[in-house]
Structure 1
Amino acid sequence: MNQQIDSLNENTDQNMNLVIAGHVDHGKSTIIGRLLADTDSLPKGKLADVKETCRRNSKPFEYAFLLDALKDEQDQGITIDSARVFFETDLRKYIILDAPGHIEFLKNMVTGAARAEAALLVIDADEGIQENSKRHCYMLSMLGIEQVSVLVNKMDLVDYDQDTFNQIVEDYTEFLEEIGMEADCFVPVSGLEGANIATLSDETPWYQGQTVLEVLDSFENQKLPEDKPFRMPVQDVYKFTRGGDDRRIVSGTIAAGQVSVGDEVVFYPSGKRSTVKSIEGFNRAKTDTIGPGFATGFTLDEQIFIKRGELATLADETEPEVTSRIKTNLFWLGKAPLSKNKEYQIKLGTAKVSARLEKIERVIDASNLSQSQEKDQVERHDVAQCVFKLNKAIAFDLATQFEKTSRFVVVDDYEIAGGGLVEEAIEDKQSWVREKVMLRNYKWEKSKITREERAKKYSQQPTLVLITGEEDVGKKPTAKELEKQLFNEGQMSYFLGIGNLLYGVDADIKGENNHKEEHLRRLSEVSHIMLDAGAILLVTAVELTQEDLELIKTTVAPDQIETVWLGDKITTDIDYDLHISDFESERKAAGEIEGLLQDRGIIFRPW
């Protein structure tokens, strides 16, 4: 296996991903065009074709035109999309991610930078340091890109003046120190004239440093994190049926560490565990161990229900953080401000959860580093330390431990609007329950009958139906009528009244004050057992809140819960799946809930 990992490292060492960033019109595209031309990396005749097109259109030739793949880019005179540019030196091959500097397209720079190992930041010598010159580098630092070199471009416009160059170096170095960064070097260049791009220029006898190509070759490839604890965000679980193949392959890309056949793996946040039976790969030699960077999969000795969004780890290594409240360091690029009165989506690894902004601890203007602790929203292009409340717990590492499994993005109205790193896992109200659930999962005695086999046998998906609302609105009659309807149709259903628990499982705490959470926990554990048996469980409770629901979801998988509010007046903040406002009869209400179960694919809809 070590040979296999060494082979991957060797292949990676032959390539490097770079991002090039800077303020609009500071000459990034011109420099990339020069790199392509000076390394003979252009398709044969491409340079001549572009020059001829410019001649026919009476347009001065610019090296930036070599990158313009879209006609409207040339018309507007700005690069509006992130371009992947390939070239090579004698040392290795490069992929440059041209990150647009125009303020409207900062999101593309973030997308590009997230894949880069090093960066070139371009500053116009004549125009000087601009807001985006600072914002871009701040974001690069947040994305963990430590190798950054600064190109002071358009030196021809200032007659290659050394004092102008030195002043930019001094001012920008001071800014970098304030954000905890250090540039590898500063290079005076002219993309237009080719000065100091491939060879040192006679126009800058005062500069005896590296050329841009030499700077690129001096960057070091990031080593794969083999020595970190094993981390693999679960992408999917593939099931096979053809030809008697009954494998279930847990798949994903290994972010860190190594996993071997025989290792005990634990999945978070569920806490479920099993042992690796085999390592699988498409069109790859069989192996017993695999490491970071590989898209892979493995089978388990015992079949457990795992889904996308879990984080696979090793039982004998450092555990990840698990919580539904996170303190983050975030940059915001959304058109609308980040505010507390809106629901967002957070994507971290393969997990995707709904989230709300709970608290803004401080806001930083990335262009001048001014701070405010009194803002109630985060404006576009600001950097902020924020606390988010998630609708369910996720697993991750802190930025100080391992950045890759700490990075996240925030989605607002189907667009990436921000991103950053998790700085702290904050204890939530479900932490005490989660610990018990993980111990339960560790000690759980598994049946020989799988969840899929029960679902096939009973023609239904196990589900907890929570029917809530004010007192005396028909919850119990509706639940009992639904139980009867499902039973008569051949479904495995069961109504569980709260009284059944209070005078049975909860008898030891019945009548004691302040035990609501423990009542809910025990209800959830009973529900978990019933769902494991394959049943559709119907439970009624008075005025459940969102906090109550979140506690239940800590024990019962959220995708196995359907919540119904019965009654016209909604008195809590619960996030329900169905609202029956007009209660005419238990038969009609039960029919509406059965329709929900059919729509969700929990039971079949009759033809």
Structure 2
Amino acid sequence: MTNKTHDSRGDQDMNIVIAGHVDHGKSTIIGRLLADTDSLPEGKLESVKETCRRNSKPFEYAFLLDALKDEQDQGITIDSARVFFETDLRKYIILDAPGHIEFLKNMVTGAARAEAALLVIDADEGIQENSKRHCYMLSMLGIDQVAVLVNKMDLVDYDEETYRKIVADYTEFLEEIGMEASSFIPVSGMEGDNLASLSDNMLWYEEETVLDLLDSFKSQPLPENKPFRMPVQDVYKFTRGGDDRRIISGTIESGQVSVGDEVVFYPSGKSSTVKSIEGFNRPDTDTIGAGYSTGFTLDEQIFIKRGEVATLADEKDPHSAARIKTNLFWLGKEPLTKDKEYHLKLGTSKVKARLEKIERVIDASDLSQSEDKGQVELHDVAQCVFKLDSAISFDLANELEHSSRFVIVDDYEIAGGGLVEESLEDEQSWVREKVMLRNYKWEKSRINREERAEKYSQQPTLVLLTGEEDVGKKPTAKALEQELFDSGRVVYFLGIGNLLYGVDADIKGDENHKEEHLRRLAEVSHIMLDAGSILVVTAVELSQDDLELIQTTVNPQQIETVWLGENVTTDIEYDLHIDEFETEEKAALQVKGMLQDRGILFKAW
């Protein structure tokens, strides 16, 4: 059985997001809720009122938020995004993020997943664009418990007809986006009407108060009955006192894992068996489930990196792709365009991404659609296709929502986010499928990667020497092999001809099989690197597409690319450019220097 504690997962807490158009009274409602639930530090309400009196300034409950921002030590936690208060039933965290970027980031990355939402509409101003946009965003993120607070009823003399019209108009909008409000409550944040108790000013309203409503929201059960998903956050290695554990850590998004389970990591397809479940200051357990930050060790040591997704072998696989169709909400200062490189973050993976296609754009305020827009602008919702520089693993929005959420980073700032709707084919899909099957079926040596690296004083690396014909690639490669060998390294030079007349003999001479030639080269490289070697390979004018195909099979962190010759004739992203070839020995020393600088050769020889 899973060991559960209230403190470790906050089973009785509930995250509520509050949204609404600017100046519709969100802060006033939050301040009033803090006051009416006795969640303020003692004397704080009186102190703020006295400050207002001294400054001849009308008191507003919204002032309480400003007064509390720096008072973390007074029993209440508050910042620009979170406010805590409690009722007799449970504790609440109100998420109120200016600009909604912080809220979007938290929802997508899992820092604070709201289970319900309050949408505030000013009774006097009525339904505004953001009243619709924000609810559209909530629907995209899967929040289906939404209540509408028709605020500032005191400004319309508590008029029932004004309230009824907002209810009718907003209900019609919600139906268009497939949502339904839990309830509509007429309130006055300033006067406290219908927040903690029913108001004498609106005898025509006899239903629930806001606090009653909050307590009626249902806590969403953690998805332990779903397929196991744990994005890998890090791998911790221990060496002190004979402790040789490698703990793969992360937060379990869904499902459960037990000692003895066979786990498969995607997109690599590598697999092993759970040996132990590890935790800090927590009772020992053989099973752990959704919501926990945890770690586990494996029976067989395999090289796993941050960004992979741990799954169970006997459950549904996630999708792995480098092209994805998405439903995106854009909040960036600059439009989303095709001529710019972005970063896409999903789970713990972060990859470069380019907008490949805009299929349609929706204005979330009036639901109008366009299929010919060249960019996605602020507050637009768009169905887009992204091309990623490497494959990531995910589930689709209609399968496992949590592991389909992503954000787009533009110039170090989160500018948008949404859900993955479809996994699309790309140039390397066929190679990736072969690699995942190979990794799953791979017979592992008893000697692991770290042991070989320590024994050979080097990191296994594929050195790709490329450039135009007759610029000295082969002489340099052979000189580099000799230099490293004389230094006691485990190194091997592999000419393309060695493959063409051997491994590739069945497809030699067929120009239509370039991709298969490269795939086989990558597979041979994978074996040599698994043996701990430094492999030096030469090839004529490799392109970035060629390199990406090789990277599908060989870990990109184990590849160093050198362009030899003055003229760079392809778009390849190289690590070293030797533009002047004097002698092969001098060029080889330049490559060796790069390997030393990058820590591939452990000590100078």
Question: Which of 214, 231, 234 is 1:216 aligned to?
Answer: 214
Separation in 1, partners of 2:79, 2:413: 16
Aligned match of 1:525 in 514, 523, 528?
Answer: 523
Please list the CA deviations of residues 577-602 of structure 1 after superposition, one character each: whole Å capped at 9, or x if unmatched.
22223333333332332232222211
Distance 2:499 2:463 in 1: 16
Secondary structure, in 3 states, of the residue corresponding to 1:203?
helix
State the alpha-carbon separation in 2 of the partners of residues 98 and 586 from structure 1: 63
Is residue 106 of structure 1 aligned with residue 100 of structure 2? yes
CA distance in 2, matches of 1:498, 1:262: 43
C-alpha distance in structure 2 between counterparts of 1:581 and 1:357, whole Å: 33
- Residue aligning to 1:433: 431
Distance 1:528 1:11, change over 3 A: closer
| C-alpha contact (below 8 Å) 2:596/2:604 kept by paired residues | no
The answer (yes or no) to whether the contact 1:18–1:119 under 8 Å persists in 2 is yes
Counterpart of 1:106, as a letter, is H
Aligned pairs for 1:127-526 within 5 A: 127-526=125-524
Within the candidate set 558, 561, 565, 1:560 is matched to 558
Q: Unaligned 5+ residue runs, structure 2?
A: 71-77
Secondary structure of 2:419's aligned partner: strand
What is the alpha-carbon distance in structure 2 between the residues aligned to residue 158 and residue 185 of structure 1? Answer: 20
Large movers: runs of 4+ above 6 Å: none
The Cα shift of 1:385 comes to 0.7
Give the letter aligned to residue 65 of structure 1.
F
SS, match of residue 201 in structure 2? coil
Hey, what's the Cα distance between the residues in 1 that align with 2:422 and 2:393?
A: 12
Give the RMSD, CA atoms, in angstroms.
1.8
Residue 532 of structure 2 corresponds to 534
Q: How many residues align?
A: 594
Q: Counterparts in 2 of 1:543-582, with a 5 A limit?
A: 543-582=541-580
User: How far 1:112 moved relative to its partner?
Assistant: 5.0
User: Partners of 1:567 and 1:83 in 2: how far apart?
Assistant: 54
Unaligned ranges ≥5, structure 1: 73-79
Q: Distance in 1 between matches of 2:548 and 2:176?
A: 41
Q: How much has 1:70 moved relative to structure 2?
A: 8.1
Q: Distance in 2 between matches of 1:400 and 1:212?
A: 32
Alignment partners' CA distance in 2, 1:549 and 1:48? 67
Q: Deviations over 1:252-294 (max 9, x none)?
A: 1111111111111111111111111111111111111111111
C-alpha displacement of 1:37: 0.6
Q: Contact 1:9–1:223 at 8 Å: present in 2 too? A: no
Cα drift, residue 544 of structure 1: 1.2
Who is 1:82 aligned against?
Answer: 80
SS of 1:541's equivalent? strand
CA contact (8 A) 2:264 2:271 kept: yes
Identity of aligned residues (%): 78
Kindly provide the amino acid, as one letter, of the partner of residue 210 in structure 2.
V
Aligned partners of 2:80, 2:65: CA distance in 1, in Å?
11
Deviation sequence 1:300-343 (CA, Å, 0-9, x none): 11111111111011101000001111111111111111111111
TM-score, scaled to structure 1: 0.95
Q: Deviations over 1:123-151 (max 9, x none)?
A: 11111111111111111111111111110
> CA, structure 1 residues 379+595, in 2 after alignment: closer, same or farther (shift >3 Å)?
farther
Say which SS state the counterpart of residue 384 (structure 2) adopts.
strand
Distance verdict in 2 for CA 1:359–1:226, change over 3 Å: same
Cα distance change on mapping 1:350 and 1:148 into 2, 3 Å: same
**Normalising to structure 2: TM-score of the pair?**
0.95
1:36-83, Cα deviation, whole Å (9 max, x unpaired): 1111111100101111111121111100011015899xxxxxxx9733
